[in-house]
Amino acid sequence: MTDFNPNASLPAPSIPGDALPPVEQHAQQYATVRNAHETELIEDYVELIGDLLAHRGEARAADIANRMAVSQATVSKMIRRLNELELVTSKPYRSLFLTEAGQKMAETSRARHDIVLHFLRALGVRDATARIDAEGMEHHVSDETLAIMQRFTEQQQKS
Amino acid sequence: MTDFNPNASLPAPSIPGDALPPVEQHAQQYATVRNAHETELIEDYVELIGDLLAHRGEARAADIANRMAVSQATVSKMIRRLNELELVTSKPYRSLFLTEAGQKMAETSRARHDIVLHFLRALGVRDATARIDAEGMEHHVSDETLAIMQRFTEQQQKS
DNA sequence: CAAACAGTTTAGCCTTGGCTAACAATATTG
DNA sequence: CAATATTGTTAGCCAAGGCTAAACTGTTTG
Ligand SMILES: [Mn+2]
Ligand SMILES: [Mn+2]
Ligand SMILES: [Mn+2]
Ligand SMILES: [Mn+2]
């Protein structure tokens, strides 16, 4: 308390909206987001490599660069990281492949991504918009919410 | 095409899930996410400062550090950035305040955040989970989806 | 009113994820 | 099969967003 504040301890002015959450809970919100940001790019790479392998039979660095709209140098550097994390195997000038761990991550990410995408479409969001939103949202959806989204989509499809 | 691929041009194996989107559309997805990531931390700071001002009458760097679970040094550096962006005004060792532009951003972010949070609760997500998910999702929800979320929540409340 | 405490800033370090430019390897094609 | 085009790598740059340690300022209290 440094600045003079005329309303410091009055009954309660016209506070709009919800109150602030308790400090620990609030901190948890931000920490969870920071955490998601550490892994989401990795997940997107692995998921994309999995998709390219499934749909095209091979995953080349140039395809990734084009699909992500990023320079080839950026992809090359990222592949080195994925290698160090033992998520992909790569021989220079050859297609990438996923390790066991990489395949597992790709499947999990793809499943999560699809649930979010299908949910948004079931909600009534146009396909192109749903795809864009899902690409970002997928990394910030808890398992609890994911389960609810899936149920919602199934309900929707029955009717 | 470098690696030998026995299925290269066969009818179409057992491709699971959706096909890959066209390259340009796919690239747009990732680009939009990268874009959101550039502004989201700024938005969270401004939104939090606005909330602290509204609910506490002042916004101190130490409060922000506690609520974000981040070091005071990190906050201090960020405040310099917010100052350069002319979103906040600050005098050394005094409470922060929002500029006009800062207030506008705070309101927009808060409104968006609330719509997402209330939507998740309306869907049936538990409050604590909804708060965590909303903190991340809010930055990746298009205006189109936001409008649909808002309508959904209102419908829910009528019934 | 001096000392202790709490809050703030600065300096310097690190990792991530972008970029461009230059170079190297492979693939395609006249 | 040589020239060209495509693809991949490396080096070196940058900004953002974390951190710790140390210095400084303002507030509270003995
Ligand atoms: Mn994805
Ligand atoms: Mn994604
Ligand atoms: Mn947020
Ligand atoms: Mn927010």
Per-residue model confidence as pLDDT tens digits over A25-67: 999 999 999 999 999 999 999 999 999 999 999 999 999 999 9
Burial class (CB in 10 A: 0-12, 13-18, 19+), B121: middle
Question: Cα(B96)–Cα(A95) distance, rounded to whole angstroms?
Answer: 53
Please indicate, yes or no, if residue B10 is contained in any of the structural domains.
no
Q: Is the Cβ pair B140, A145 closer than 8 Å?
A: no
Residue A136: the pLDDT is 98
Please indicate, yes or no, if residue B17 is contained in any of the structural domains.
no
Instruction: For strand D, give the nucleotides within 7 A of a protein CB.
Output: 6-12, 16-22, 25-28
Which residue among B1, B30, B137 sits closest to A135, beta carbon to beta carbon?
A: B30
Which residue among A19, A58, A136 sits closest to B55, beta carbon to beta carbon?
A: A19
Per-residue model confidence as pLDDT tens digits over B140-150: 999 999 999 99
Question: Cα(B105)–Cα(B98) distance, rounded to whole angstroms?
Answer: 9
- Phi and psi at residue B68, to the nearest 5°: -95, -10
Per-residue model confidence as pLDDT tens digits over B15-56: 556 789 999 999 999 999 999 999 999 999 999 999 999 999
CB A120 within 8 Å of CB B152: no
Percent of chain B with pLDDT over 70: 89
Residue B12: the pLDDT is 40
Please indicate, yes or no, if residue B50 is contained in any of the structural domains.
yes
Per-residue model confidence as pLDDT tens digits over A86-139: 999 998 889 999 999 999 999 999 999 999 999 999 999 999 999 999 999 999
Please indicate, yes or no, if residue A21 is contained in any of the structural domains.
no
Residue A91 CA, ligand 4 centroid: distance in Å: 43
Question: Cα(A42)–Cα(B36) distance, rounded to whole angstroms?
Answer: 17
Q: Mean pLDDT throughout B95-123?
A: 98
Please indicate, yes or no, if residue A3 is contained in any of the structural domains.
no
The number of residues making up chain B comes to 159
| Distance from CA(A89) to C1'(D24), angstroms, rounded | 52
Please indicate, yes or no, if residue B1 is contained in any of the structural domains.
no
Give the pTM: 0.90
Residue B1 pLDDT exceeds 50: no
> B120 at the A interface (CB within 8 A)?
yes
Proximal ligand: closest to the CA of A117 = 1
Residue A11 pLDDT exceeds 70: no
Please indicate, yes or no, if residue A118 is contained in any of the structural domains.
yes
State the DSSP H helix or E strand holding residue A40, giving kind and residue range, or none if neither. Answer: helix A23-56
Q: Which residues contact A76 (CB under 8 A, 6 or more apart)?
A: A61
Please indicate, yes or no, if residue B13 is contained in any of the structural domains.
no
Distance of CA A14 to the CA centre of its chain: 37
> B132 at the A interface (CB within 8 A)?
yes
Residue B84 structural domain:
26-158
Q: Are strands B88-90 and B96-98 parallel, antiparallel or unpaired?
A: antiparallel
Report chain A's C-alpha Rg in angstroms: 21
Question: Domain count of chain A?
Answer: 1
Residue A41 CA, ligand 1 centroid: distance in Å: 9
Residue B16: the pLDDT is 57
Q: Mean pLDDT throughout B90-117?
A: 96
Residue A7 pLDDT exceeds 90: no
> A2 at the B interface (CB within 8 A)?
yes
Question: Cα(A53)–Cα(A47) distance, rounded to whole angstroms?
Answer: 10
DSSP annotation of B11: S
Question: What CATH number is associated with residue A80?
Answer: 1.10.10.10
Burial class (CB in 10 A: 0-12, 13-18, 19+), B109: buried
Proximal ligand: closest to the CA of A36 = 2
CB contacts < 8 A, A to B, total 160
Q: Which of A120-129, B4-13, B100-109 has the lowest mean pLDDT?
A: B4-13
Question: Cα(B76)–Cα(B61) distance, rounded to whole angstroms?
Answer: 7
